[in-house]
Chain A
Amino acid sequence: AQKITQTQPGMFVQEKEAVTLDCTYDTSDQSYGLFWYKQPSSGEMIFLIYQGSYDEQNATEGRYSLNFQKARKSANLVISASQLGDSAMYFCAMRLHTGANSKLTFGKGITLSVRP
Chain B
Amino acid sequence: DSGVTQTPKHLITATGQRVTLRCSPRSGDLSVYWYQQSLDQGLQFLIQYYNGEERAKGNILERFSAQQFPDLHSELNLSSLELGDSALYFCASSGGQGAGQFFGPGTRLTVL
Contacts and interface: CB of A to CB of B under 8 A. Distances in A.
B90 A97 contact: no
A45 interface: yes
B68 interface: no
Nearest to B42: A108
A47 B100 contact: yes
A72 interface: no
A85 B111 CA distance: 32
A25 interface: no
Interface stretch (A12-20, A62-70, A99-107): A99-107
Contact of A102 (B88, B90, B94): B94
Contact of B101 (A47, A52, A97): A47
Contact of B88 (A43, A47, A108, A109): A43
Given A33-B98, A97-B97, A97-B98, A44 B55 contact: no
The bracket for how many chain B residues form the interface is 20 to 34
B53 to A, nearest CB: 10
Interface of A: 33, 35, 37, 43-47, 50, 52, 91, 93, 95, 97, 100-109
B31 A102 contact: yes
Contacts of A109: 42
A101 B103 contact: no
B97 A47 contact: no
B48 A101 contact: yes
Contacts of B58: 103
B92 to A, nearest CB: 8
20 contacts: A33-B98, A43-B108, A44-B103, A44-B104, A45-B103, A45-B106, A46-B2, A46-B103, A47-B100, A47-B101, A47-B103, A91-B43, A97-B98, A101-B48, A102-B56, A103-B45, A103-B58, A104-B33, A104-B35, A104-B45
